[in-house]
Amino acid sequence: MKSEKEKASEGLLYDANYDGQLLRERAECADMTHELNQMRPSMAAEREALLRRLLGRAGKALTILSPFFCNYGYNISIGDNFFMNMNCVILDGAKVTFGDNVFVAPGCGFYTAGHPLDSQRRNSGLEYAFPITVGNNVWIGAQVCVLPGVTIGDNTVIGAGSVVTRSIPANVLAAGNPCRVIRAITEADKERYTQPPRLPHGEG
């Protein structure tokens, strides 16, 4: 018979609210994130050491600013050169994978968890969890919400305030609610911001 943890890993409905093993694991994770969030920012080495105990995998050059919250920690895999700004949440009932050179702005949420539309099953404590994957060289703007099952392709930028309900391809700028592709990122974008902005007449 499958455990509730095994059901979660397979994308099946599972008991997230009353299963003893998952309750213990979430409590352990909550203690660790609480400890992290009480540490002074100047305690960089201690913070990184705790994060590496908490997370399933973390590459070189890891920075996550507090406050930070997650469910289990061990389902989170992070590549090299990762920066996550303050007040972010990862609900990692399923795997959440970040590639190399990922920048995450403040107030973002990555939510693998969802609940049945049927109220009887929802009230019984059942939910599901679908993995989230973020590719290499991705920038995610402030207050972005990434929902279960989403993949974000390499080199893509997600605009601030977006609600990402479906997967986004590589090499694009995407934004909105629901998040959609606005345009491709091209060679011309390398020239942006290389000159100071032109101010309206009478300013500056």
C-alpha of 65 from chain center: 13
pLDDT, residue 77, reads 98
CATH class of 4-183: mainly beta
- Rounded Cα–Cα distance for residues 15 and 33 (Å): 23
Domains in the chain: boundaries:
4-183
- Over the chain (204 residues), what is each successive 10-residue block's mean pLDDT? 94 94 98 98 96 97 98 98 98 98 98 95 94 98 98 98 98 98 93 73 54
- Residues classed as catalytic: 115
Three-state DSSP class for residue 103: strand
- Rounded Cα–Cα distance for residues 181 and 27 (Å): 39
N residues, the chain? 204
**Alpha carbon of 81 to those of 1, 58, 60, 61, 161: distances in Å?**
40, 9, 6, 5, 24
- Rounded Cα–Cα distance for residues 139 and 13 (Å): 32
Closest CA relative to residue 74, chosen from 90, 86, 89: 90
